[in-house]
Amino acid sequence: MKKKSIVILSVLVVALLLFTGYKTFLSPKGAEGAKEVTIHIINENEDVDKTFTYNTDHEFLLELMEEKQEELGVTFEESEFGKMVVGMMNYTANPDKQEFFHIAVNGEDAMTGVEEIPLENDDVYKFELSNY
Amino acid sequence: MKIRDVALIGILSATITAGKLVLSFVPNVEIVTLLFIVYTVVFGVRKSFLASVVFSTTEILIYGFSTWLLGYYLVWPLLIIVTGLMSKKMESEYVYATIGAIFGYAFGALFAIVESIFYGLAYGWVYWLRGIPFDLIHGTSNFIIILVLYKPMINILTKLKASYYQT
């Protein structure tokens, strides 16, 4: 039993080291300091096409959206992979109609959720109600 | 296939589904890998493979169809085949704990391959990268769970098999 405990402890230490390595070298990094960013919201169903420009020190999009949650009318949903944007401008995407908010960064499809999208100066983050 | 085999496969797959649901509130900590390994060692590759097909299909019935569920039809049989090959030569729980750990660490990568087929390589790459912390939890917890529970489960199931199955 003592041998097993030592092995388990060793495996936990190695896993912790690997996790630290991931956080240091592979996870997305936010840029520190002031930056100007734009959030563009499109919902053709509700005739919404609004643009918001912010000066912010936040490093990730989620932090900015949480700060401006009321103004942007954002609804988040907790998922296994972190926070998901399910509503914008007080409109919640209806999964029964296969609706979701498609996120694009400077016109390119976002590959991660808002939690892991770093804020960069002059970036435009577009949220468009789409169907899958 | 005998009626008792059908009943056994039903019981095996039901316990795997129940085992998964019981721990579903803890991200990526599961006993499904342990159960598949133990079942393969005790009942063999064929029955475990059929249990995995029933289990994967039940997942679709519970969660609805999505592309990642297709991966289940590949990754669990892969684990069963590897375990089946090892069970002829190895008995140590350390071997199976290592198989479970490797399986957990590679889980995201295996699914990323399946996702790449549907959504492209870039998506698969990001899918894998984003899931690395979850894979670390998965592989490490698999190792610990299997190391601690493999032997007691093998002992209990071997006795149960002798009492109720091999008549």
CB pairs under 8 A between A and B: 34
Domain boundaries along the sequence of chain A: 1-30, 35-131
Backbone angles phi, psi at B31, to 5 degrees: -115, 10
Instruction: Tell which of A12, A27, A111, A112 to mutate to test the B interface (max B CBs under 10 Å).
Output: A111
Domain A35-131 has CATH 2.170.130.30: yes
Q: Would you say residue B125 lies in a domain? A: yes
Q: Which domain holds residue B119?
A: 3-155
The answer to whether the CB of A20 falls within 8 A of the CB of A104 is no
Q: Would you say residue B27 lies in a domain? A: yes
Q: Total structural domains in chain B?
A: 1
| pLDDT tens, N- to C-terminus, chain A (132 residues) | 788 999 999 999 999 999 999 888 877 777 767 889 999 999 998 899 999 999 999 989 999 999 999 999 999 988 766 788 999 999 999 988 889 999 999 988 887 889 888 898 999 999 999 987
Backbone angles phi, psi at B27, to 5 degrees: -60, 125
Q: How is residue B102 written in tokens?
A: 């490797």
For residue A87, the cross-strand partners are: A75, A92
Model pTM score: 0.76
Q: Does B121 touch chain A (CB under 8 A)?
A: no
CB contacts, 8 Å: A19 with chain B: 133, 136
Q: Would you say residue B160 lies in a domain? A: no
Q: Which of residues 29-68 of A touch B (CB under 8 A)?
A: none
Structure ipTM: 0.80
Element (H or E) spanning A82, and its range? strand A82-88
C-alpha dihedral (B128, B130, B133, B134), degrees to nearest 10: -70
Separation of alpha carbons A111 and B80, rounded Å: 33
CB contacts, 8 Å: A26 with chain B: 129, 132
Q: What three-state secondary structure class fits B76?
A: helix
| Beta strand extents in chain B (DSSP E only) | none
CATH of residue B147's domain is 1.10.1760
Q: Between vectors from CA B114 to CA B109 and to CA B119, what angle results, nearest 5°?
A: 110
